[in-house]
């Protein structure tokens, strides 16, 4: 049986890749951000995940506006990155876990999620930057991923509730996987930010704090936000929080927030890092 050890929510800003490549981690601008990953490294070394389910949004590398699935699940044995034009080095490839991918795909379709199945899939900065933050030096040998892409770009977007339920479906599917795996679920992007338009540079610290507080203890409350109301509070790209909602859905009802770092700004974003540890639920959740 696969065991879900917990979830990590993390930003995915490309300039982090540039800071890593130029070894600027200890400069005053970057230090408070990178220090927030010290605990993550300790926690990963202790918990030893072997597979990572990554909820993220593709920014035009694998999908573009002409064809953009609401939900897409990778089923490849390897995922490559390519130059996205941000001026950062192309990342090392990451191994896939096709058998687990197909198990999740079967379970999602049985649960009436009409996903796109990708036996080839390029992964962009929204996967590679969080991976590089969690495993510095790209030392992710032995780690396999299942990338799950959520459309946070081309409206209409899936609701917060729908993404939470997508995560729940994946959480149930992991619990029924017959092989042993120690699974980490990750949601990338956010928190509040807007890259263009009249509100470019928009940050909402109070709302970010509210979202992190509710994510651990009362995620149902967040599912009541419409996409448009959420964007009003978090900015047009703050809706990348949909990836965090899916991550939270895959976890148990009970989780402990064992780590939080929040730092403004990293590039145009409020950069947040949260570690949620799974706690046993008193009863098996209904489907
Ligand atoms: C930035 C933020 C993002 O979410 C992204 O995907 C790319 C760039 C930024 O703040 O620069
Ligand atoms: Fe983004």
Concatenate the DSSP letters of all residues of 122-166 into one string: B--HHHHHHHHHHSGGG--TT-EEEEEEE--SSSSPPPHHHHHHH
pLDDT at 284 over 90: no
Residue 190: the pLDDT is 92
Residue 281: the pLDDT is 84
Cα 248–Cα 153–Cα 259 angle in degrees, nearest 5: 30
Q: Is 240 left (phi over 0), alpha (psi -120 to 50) or beta?
A: alpha
Residue 285: the pLDDT is 55
Of 12, 59, 103, 125, which one is the catalytic site residue? 125
DSSP annotation string for 47-110: H--SEEEEEE---SSS-BTTB--SEEEE--SEEB----SSS-PPPPPEEE-HHHHHHHHHHHHH
Contact 145, 101 (CB under 8 A): no
Q: Confirm or reject: Cβ of 238 under 6 Å from ligand 1.
A: no
What is the rounded distance in angstroms from the CA atom of residue 203 to the CA atom of residue 214? 18
pLDDT over 70, % of the chain? 98
Question: Which band of pLDDT confidence, cut at 50, 70 and 90, is reported for residue 36?
Answer: very high
Atom of ligand 1 nearest to the CA of 126: 6
Q: Whose CA is nearest to atom 7 of ligand 1?
A: 13
Catalytic (active site) residue 193: yes
Of 103, 193, 259, 263, which one is the catalytic site residue? 193
pLDDT at 287 over 70: no
Residue 282: the pLDDT is 74
């Amino acid at each position: 049986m696969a065991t879900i050890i917990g979830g990590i929510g993390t930003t995915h800003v490309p300039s982090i890749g540039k800071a890593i490549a130029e070894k600027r981690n200890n400069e005053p601008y970057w230090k408070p951000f990178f220090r927030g990953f010290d605990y993550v490294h300790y926690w990963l070394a202790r918990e030893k995940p072997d597979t990572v389910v990554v909820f993220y949004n593709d920014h035009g590398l694998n999908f573009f506006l002409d064809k953009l699935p609401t939900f897409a699940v990778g089923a490849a044995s390897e995922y490559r990155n390519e130059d996205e034009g941000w001026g950062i080095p192309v990342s090392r490839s990451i191994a896939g876990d096709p058998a687990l991918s197909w198990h999740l795909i079967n379970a999602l379709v049985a649960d009436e999620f009409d996903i796109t199945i990708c036996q080839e899939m390029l992964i962009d900065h929204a996967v590679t930057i969080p991976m590089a933050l969690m495993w510095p030096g790209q030392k992710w040998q032995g780690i396999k991923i299942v990338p799950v892409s959520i459309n946070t770009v081309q409206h209409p977007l899936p609701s917060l509730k729908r993404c939470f339920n997508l995560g729940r479906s994946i959480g149930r599917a992991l619990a029924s996987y017959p092989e042993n795996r120690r699974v980490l679920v990750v949601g990338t992007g956010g928190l509040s930010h807007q890259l263009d338009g009249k509100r470019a540079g928009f940050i909402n610290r109070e709302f970010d704090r509210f979202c992190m507080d509710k994510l651990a203890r009362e995620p149902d409350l967040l599912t009541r936000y419409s996409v448009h109301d959420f964007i009003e509070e978090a900015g047009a790209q703050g809706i990348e929080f949909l990836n965090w909602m899916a991550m939270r859905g895959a976890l148990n009802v009970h989780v402990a927030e064992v780590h939080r770092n929040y730092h403004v700004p990293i590039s145009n974003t409020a950069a947040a890092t949260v570690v949620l540890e799974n706690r046993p639920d008193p009863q098996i959740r209904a489907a």
